[in-house]
Structure 1
C-alpha cells in the first residue's frame, strides 16, 4: 500500500513533502500562493492605487521594476521550466499520472504540454494586467464561446484557447482508449454528449461536432455571441479553412458577377471562400457594435487588390495596416466599390495570376483623409468616400472571397 501511495505522489519543492496527485491543485495554491491564484493576485496588485513601485511577476508574484522586468521574467520562466522537468522526472508510470493542474487556470494539462500551456497562460495574464494598468476597458472586448469546453473566452485569446482544448480532448481520448485497451476499430466508443456510439476512427470528429453544437446551444441569445454563417462548411476541426467554389453555384455567380461588372474581359480561374472563424467573429463583433450605434447595418461588399505573396498572410491574420503603401486618403486598408479600381493594386505571380479579395466592410460614417491620417478622425469610421474607403481597424473588414484571375 505504501508503494502505491508513493507512485501516485508528487514532490512539492516548496515544502519538501510528498503530495497526493488528487490533492496537488489545492496543495500548490496553499503552499505557493496562499490560496490566491497568480491572476487574482496580479490583478489585485495592479488595481491597488498605492502600488506604484513595480509590476507583479506572473510566475513568482514579486514586485519588479519596469527596467528589470524582462530579465527577471526570463529567469522565472527558466526556473518554471526546471520545476516542470522535475515533475516529469518523478513520473515513472505514464498510465498513473498524465495530467497536472496549470498554476494559472487550474485546468488539467498533460505533463508534456504543461510548460507550453503555462507560458501561454502567463502571457495572457501579462496582457490583461497591462490592459488594466493602462486603464483600458477590458470588459468591452467581445467574449465568444470555446467550441470544445463552452467557456466564454476573450476574442484575442480564442484561437489559442480552442487549440489547447482540442489538444486536451485528443489526449483525453487517447488516455481513455489506452486505459480500456481499445485497439480495434470494431469497438464502439460512446459520445459523452449525445450518448451515441461510434468507431474509434470516427469518434473524435463526431464528439468535436457535438461539443460545438452544445456550446452554441448554451450561448443562444447571449450578448457577444456571434454564430458562423449557415452556408459555411463547419465540418472542419481547424480555425482556418479554404473552400473552392463550384462555378455552377449561386455563391460563385454572386462573386463573379460583381467582379465582371467592371472587369468583363478578365478570366476568373478560381474563387475561394475563406473560413477563418476567429477573424469572422472579430468582424461580427464590430458589426454588432455598428448596428447598435447607427440602428442599421453599414456593411458593403468591396474589393481589395494585393500582391500575390501577401494573400496567405491576409487569410491567416486579416488585413494588416502596416503593409499600406499608397496612402493618399489615409494610412489604412483600402477598399474599392469597383474591381477595376482594385486591379491596379494587384501584381501577377510567376504563373501570371492575380489575386483580389471581395470583402465585407463596415463603412459607418465617412470623412476626408490625407497622407498624414494615421487614425480615423473622432466620430468617423472610414475616410475616403465615393468609390474608395479606408478602414483603420483590422477587424473592420472580413475578406470572405479570394478571386484568382488573369
Structure 2
C-alpha cells in the first residue's frame, strides 16, 4: 500500500514549507509575533520597565510583580484558545484581523494583516514625534491625553472600537449605514473607509491636533462630562444639582403629582454633532435660535433604540397632524404617549427641538411643507428630520 503524501504549502512570512494541517497555526503565530513587535516598540516609547511593572510574556502589558504570575496564566489560556480558534477555521471562513478586528478570508489574511501592521508601525512612528509634548492625541477619539495616561486611555478606546466594528458587521451587505461624522449613508463595503476619511478630515486643522480636540469639545453642552471615552454615555443626575432641578421643574409644571424616580443625562456625541449642525443652519436662515425644550413620551421598550439611533420617524404610530416625531410643550400631553414598564414606571424625554417655522398638518402629511420646518403649533410640534431634535434628558417617573 502506498504511503499517503502530506501536502505542504509555503508560509509567506518565512517561506518555509508547512503542512496544510499546520498552515493556519503557523500563519497565526507570525501575525502574533508581528503584533507583539509593534507593542514592544510602543512600550519602549512609553517608558522603561520597573521592578513594579513587569511585561507579560503574552500580551506585553506591564503587570505588578505580585499579580504577574496569575495574569500570565490567564493570558496563556487566552492565547491557547486564540490559536485553537484559528486552526478550527475552514479555508473559506472569515478570521478577525488581530489589528483592526475586521473579519477577513484566510486567503486574504496575510496581505490584510501586513497592511494593518504597517499602519500600526507608522502610528507608533508618528507617536514618537510627540515625545517632547505632555499631551498626545488618542488615535481613536483624538482627545489629547497626558503621556502617563495615554496607554490606558487608548486601550479602553480600542476595546470600544472593536465592539463598534463587531456591531457594524451585523449589518447585511445591502444595508445603508449612516456615517458617524457626516450622517451620509453607505453600504457595509464602503462605510468604514468613508468614516476613516471623515475622521481624518475632522482631525486636520492648521493649529495641530490640540486645537481640533479642544475646539470639538466646546461644541458640547457645558453640563456634559467631557472626560467620557465613549460616543454614548448615560449619567444619573443628582437630585440636588441645578441641572436636575431645571428638568424636574419643567416636568412638574404640568404633572405636579407624578413622582420622579430618576433623571438621566444622555451624552451621544454623534447624535449631538448632527443636531448641532442643524441648529447652525436654522440660526443662519432665521438669524436667531428657534430651539425649544419639549417633551416626548414613548414606550419603555423604545428607550434604548432612541438613545442609540435618535428619534426615528419609522417608529411613529400616531399621525394626527403629520407623520413625524411628536413633541409637546407640556409633560401632561406627552404622558398620553407613555406606557408603564414591568416595574410600573413610565419614561419621557425632555429634548432640544428646532421648531423653526410651523404650519398646519394632517394625517396625510409625510414631509414638512416647503418653507416650513414643523407642523402642528401651539402646544404640539411635529418634526420630519431625525436630527432636528436631541433627547438630552430621560425622565423615569410613576
TM category, shorter: 0.5 to 0.7
Q: Structure 2: how far apart are the matches of 1:401 and 1:332?
A: 20
Runs of 4 or more consecutive aligned structure 1 residues displaced over 4 Å after TM superposition: 6-10, 86-92, 190-197, 199-203, 205-208, 212-216, 219-222
SS at match of 2:304: helix
Q: Structure 2: how far apart are the matches of 1:271 and 1:333?
A: 22
Q: Structure 2: how far apart are the matches of 1:257 and 1:360?
A: 16
1:319 to 2:311 alignment? yes
Map of 2:75 onto structure 1 = none
Asked if structure 1 preserves the Cα contact closer than 8 Å seen for 2:300 and 2:346, the reply is: yes
Change (3 A) 1:391 1:215: farther
Q: Structure 2: how far apart are the matches of 1:196 and 1:316?
A: 30
Segment drifting more, 306-315 vs 197-206: 197-206
Map of 1:382 onto structure 2 = 374
Out of 31, 48, 53, the position equivalent to 1:94 is 31
Stretches of structure 1 that go unaligned for 5 or more consecutive residues are: 1-5, 11-85, 100-109, 120-167, 177-189
SS at match of 1:112: coil
Asked if structure 2 preserves the Cα contact closer than 8 Å seen for 1:88 and 1:111, the reply is: no
Q: Structure 1: how far apart are the matches of 2:278 and 2:145?
A: 38
Asked if structure 2 preserves the Cα contact closer than 8 Å seen for 1:8 and 1:97, the reply is: no
Asked if structure 2 preserves the Cα contact closer than 8 Å seen for 1:8 and 1:96, the reply is: no
Q: TM-score, normalised by structure 1?
A: 0.53
Out of 215, 218, 236, the position equivalent to 2:212 is 218
Q: Structure 2: how far apart are the matches of 1:342 and 1:335?
A: 7
Stretches of structure 2 that go unaligned for 5 or more consecutive residues are: 1-10, 16-22, 37-95, 106-115, 125-133, 138-143, 159-202
1:274 to 2:266 alignment? yes
Asked if structure 2 preserves the Cα contact closer than 8 Å seen for 1:321 and 1:331, the reply is: yes
Output aligned runs, 1:16-95, within 5 Å.
90=27, 92-94=29-31
1:197-250 CA-partner distances (Å, limit 9, x unpaired) = 527874547999xxx99746137779xx97222221122211111000001000
SS at match of 2:148: strand
- Cα displacement (A) at 1:262: 0.4
Superposition CA RMSD, Å: 4.0
Asked if structure 1 preserves the Cα contact closer than 8 Å seen for 2:293 and 2:329, the reply is: yes
The count of residues paired between Structure 1 and Structure 2 equals 250
Map of 1:41 onto structure 2 = none
Change (3 A) 1:88 1:358: farther
Q: Structure 2: how far apart are the matches of 1:266 and 1:221?
A: 40
Q: Structure 1: how far apart are the matches of 2:272 and 2:359?
A: 26
- Cα displacement (A) at 1:352: 1.0
Map of 1:391 onto structure 2 = 383
Q: Structure 1: how far apart are the matches of 2:228 and 2:214?
A: 22
1:231 to 2:223 alignment? yes
Q: Structure 1: how far apart are the matches of 2:389 and 2:244?
A: 20
Asked if structure 1 preserves the Cα contact closer than 8 Å seen for 2:35 and 2:99, the reply is: no
Q: Structure 1: how far apart are the matches of 2:372 and 2:233?
A: 33
